[in-house]
Structure 1
Amino acid sequence: MKKKLISAALALLFLLPAGCGQAASSQSMTPSSASVISEKSSSTKSAWVSASWTFTDAKKRKVTIPAAPKRVAALYGSFAEAWTLAGGTLAGTTEDAVSERKMSLGSAVKVVGTVKEPNLEQVLALQPDFVILSSEISAQVKLDASLTKLNIPHAYFSVKTYQQYLEMMKGFTALTGRPDLYEKNGASVQKQITEILAKVPKDKKPTALLIRAFSSGAKAKNSDDLAGAVLKDLGADNIADRKKSLLEDLSMEEIVKEDPDYIFVTVMGESEEKALAALKKGIQANPAWAQLSAVKNNRYVVLPKELFHYKPNAKWGESYAYLAKLLYPDVFK
């Protein structure tokens, strides 16, 4: 019976008018006055009421997600974790939730493909009432038209800064009716980061090169990257923000000229060993590499994946603390 329903739903995709949407890299996610959490004078759990959420998502789509969704499919492990941190339950998610986020899903939660190749038929089989997607993954962007035709509530997110994480958590906890979990996993994170930023020396601006390594090469990253955004907030001068050419060509000549105080590396892909081996065979094989100040002063650092490649979620404060101690060891001990 379920297969017949799915087949019928897929058939509708060819009969209904096509939906449209423009991809974007940011979103406005503050709940509207009509969709904020309703709170009574009591602070007990029984007083919390979930509400719908109307906002502009990362594809610049005006969306409304009905209150208290029960069958949620999150097609990105990081967003799956964020939904559970907001008190939500999952009907399905992608394989990276297990392999990368190390989430214990339970038998009731179905794996619906990979983050780069989610399976639409398996998603529809869940009969979802809310689908959470990434605007940064092309295969997920392509699902917009199908989900729109089937009137399935869905939204796209891009989370590269802790502010974007907080906005997402405000909306998620509005939907679940759990303001206490926003305080625990959102507001407390913001407080930790605010305290760290208040201690950052105003008279120092260490220079840094941020590299993303993968098995087939490496690229410089600027403040549009998660780690790059943290470096910027902490007052570091990421040379890729000034030298845009480094984003296309990781030039040893340009790096030597800038001679950054720090070199930070984030690793992409399943094998960290292969990515770092490729980096060693590549730009690090240049004799000039060993003469860089960052290398000679032991300021070449491979950053932990869980804090700087995957979305940190409730650990955003730890990401800031980690880099703050490296950049300003005399202040953060």
Structure 2
Amino acid sequence: MRRMKKILGTALAAVLLAGCTAAPPADSGAAAEAEPPPAAIVFTDALGHEVILESWDRVASLYGSFAETWLLAGGTLAGTTEDAVSERGLELGEDVAVVGTVKEPSLEEVLALAPDFVILSADVTSQVKLHDALAAAEIPHAYYRVDAFADYLSMLEQFCRLTGREDLYEENGLAVQRQIDAVLAAAEDKTGPTALLIRAYSTGAKAKGDDNLAGVILRDLGADNLADRYESMLEDVSMEAVIAADPDFIFITTMGAEDSALAFMTETFENNPAWAGLSAVRSGRCVLLPKELFHYKPNRRWGESYVYLAEILYPELAGQIQ
């Protein structure tokens, strides 16, 4: 493994990770101990922190999606959070520790693993707050943000360069990119319908734009997401706003317990007599999107997410794309 790290370090010095920079040469007066080790990998993470990696044998991921991406790149895990099992269904060995939840990871349990690399989410406040403690413990760590397929592909490429598994970058990344490209080519000349993307949870609902993976896919497929016109719906969706928008399609994703989120939708919207008069409802175009493709990061299944929505938006494409 030590020899492999040396080889990887040499290769990565020539072909840098996306968004990474090589360690700068030391100034004549700089102290030698301030220089990164010769074989170190140096890059900047999603929050602008400089990350110096010398080893990645014991990796902990505090987000199940990112844990899966590390595994898809051929890596192994020392620890991860509970959602890796409950939401992603990852089969973790007995030697992989569960170190809390995404929103409440246990710093004590992470430190007990003696990790040489910790992967965190830039979008989870409690994880962002761990930066100072991890830095004080001198544990290399990096924050990532994945909102679209391009973000996943960039992360996978970086991870595969660390593991030396270019074959897995092809299989779980570039092959998916080709599938998405084929779907986009098939939909390129289509006239996009209007759509409203709603994310529902137990106590409310909000319209989502291209800060959401389903919103990004709708945009890429040429749909006119009405959340971009009715910005007030980004904070709270009202029945009045939905009536005013009257979209061709209504897409619903749920956050948290799906039963509770759907109960809120029924009570707030579907029980309103005006709901049945909406164009999308009359035409049978109110669609509940599956969580595994549109709420959780689909990772190597991202192409399936594009196919799923393309066939709904443009039924004539069904059977032509896969």
In the superposition, the TM-score normalised over structure 2's length comes to: 0.86
State the shift of 1:284 in Å. 2.3
2:174 to 172, 187, 192: 187
State the shift of 1:241 in Å. 1.5
Tell me how far apart the structure 2 counterparts of residues 158 and 74 of structure 1 sit (CA, whole Å). Answer: 13
Give the match for residue 100 of structure 1: 87
Per mean C-alpha deviation after superposition, the further-off stretch among 276-285 and 260-269 is 276-285
Report if aligned partners of 2:253, 2:288 keep a CA contact under 8 Å in 1: yes
State the shift of 1:200 in Å. 0.6
1:129 aligns with 2:96: no
CA RMSD after TM alignment: 1.7
1:293 aligns with 2:287: no
Pair 1:203–1:98, CA change in 2 (3 A): closer
Larger relative CO (CA 8 A, sep 6+): 1 or 2? Answer: 1
1:72 aligns with 2:73: no
1:212 aligns with 2:203: no
Give the match for residue 324 of structure 1: 310
State the shift of 1:33 in Å. 6.8
- Structure 2: state its 5+ residue gaps: 1-16, 24-38
- Residue by residue over 1:98-153, the C-alpha shift from the partner in whole angstroms, topping out at 9 and shown as x without a partner, is 11111110100000011110000000000000000001111100000011111111
1:260 aligns with 2:280: no
Give the letter for the 2:192 counterpart: K
Give the letter for the 1:298 counterpart: G
1:222 aligns with 2:222: no
State the shift of 1:32 in Å. 3.9
- Structure 1: state its 5+ residue gaps: 1-28, 36-50
Report if aligned partners of 2:205, 2:236 keep a CA contact under 8 Å in 1: no
Report if aligned partners of 2:122, 2:145 keep a CA contact under 8 Å in 1: yes
Tell me how far apart the structure 2 counterparts of residues 31 and 180 of structure 1 sit (CA, whole Å). Answer: 21
Per mean C-alpha deviation after superposition, the further-off stretch among 229-238 and 280-289 is 280-289
Give the letter for the 2:279 counterpart: S
State the shift of 1:201 in Å. 4.0
Report if aligned partners of 1:77, 1:94 keep a CA contact under 8 Å in 2: yes
Report if aligned partners of 2:194, 2:224 keep a CA contact under 8 Å in 1: yes
Give the match for residue 127 of structure 2: 140
Give the match for residue 45 of structure 1: none
1:307 to 293, 316, 320: 293
Pair 1:201–1:171, CA change in 2 (3 A): closer
For 2:94, what is the secondary structure of its paired residue?
Answer: coil
For 1:277, what is the secondary structure of its paired residue?
Answer: helix
For 1:282, what is the secondary structure of its paired residue?
Answer: helix
Give the match for residue 151 of structure 1: 138
Tell me how far apart the structure 2 counterparts of residues 65 and 195 of structure 1 sit (CA, whole Å). Answer: 37
Q: How many residues end up aligned between the 2 structures?
A: 289
State the shift of 1:283 in Å. 2.3
1:243 to 230, 235, 241: 230
Give the letter for the 2:304 counterpart: E
- Residue by residue over 1:139-169, the C-alpha shift from the partner in whole angstroms, topping out at 9 and shown as x without a partner, is 1000000111111110011101000000000
Tell me how far apart the structure 1 counterparts of residues 43 and 181 of structure 2 sit (CA, whole Å). Answer: 26
For 2:317, what is the secondary structure of its paired residue?
Answer: coil
Report if aligned partners of 1:53, 1:171 keep a CA contact under 8 Å in 2: no
- Residue by residue over 1:231-274, the C-alpha shift from the partner in whole angstroms, topping out at 9 and shown as x without a partner, is 101111110022111112313222212210100011111x2111
For 1:278, what is the secondary structure of its paired residue?
Answer: helix
Tell me how far apart the structure 1 counterparts of residues 100 and 62 of structure 2 sit (CA, whole Å). Answer: 8
For 1:209, what is the secondary structure of its paired residue?
Answer: strand
Report if aligned partners of 2:203, 2:264 keep a CA contact under 8 Å in 1: yes
Tell me how far apart the structure 1 counterparts of residues 149 and 179 of structure 2 sit (CA, whole Å). Answer: 11
Percent identical among aligned pairs is 59
For 1:128, what is the secondary structure of its paired residue?
Answer: coil
1:174 to 158, 161, 166: 161
State the shift of 1:34 in Å. 4.7
Give the letter for the 2:105 counterpart: P
